[in-house]
Amino acid sequence: MKNRLKVLRAERDWSQAELAGRLDVSRQAVNAIETGKHDPSLPLAFRIARLFDMRIEEIFDDEI
């Protein structure tokens, strides 16, 4: 699944470790989501959306 996580993170000048800490997951999890190798669970997707104050579908896209 494609996502805009890396772009959103870069816009805030956050490292992967910074985003991981804010989401309470490991840095490896952030990296895996950014590279599309891991699709987050629905609860984590909601946490990500809340952190960036966006809707889930504005961050994740399963149609690309």
Q: Which residues form the interface with another protein (CB under 8 A)?
A: 14-15, 17-29, 32, 37-38, 40-41, 44
> Closest distance between another protein and the C-beta of residue 3, in Å?
15
H-helix or E-strand spanning residue 21: helix 16-23
Between 4 and 14, name the residue whose CB sits nearer to another protein: 14
Q: CA neighbours within 13 Å on the CB side: how many for 16?
A: 11
Nearest residue (CB) to another protein, 18 versus 56? 18
Residues 33 and 47: their CA atoms lie apart, in Å, by 13
Pick between residue 42 and residue 63 the one whose CB is nearest to another protein: 42
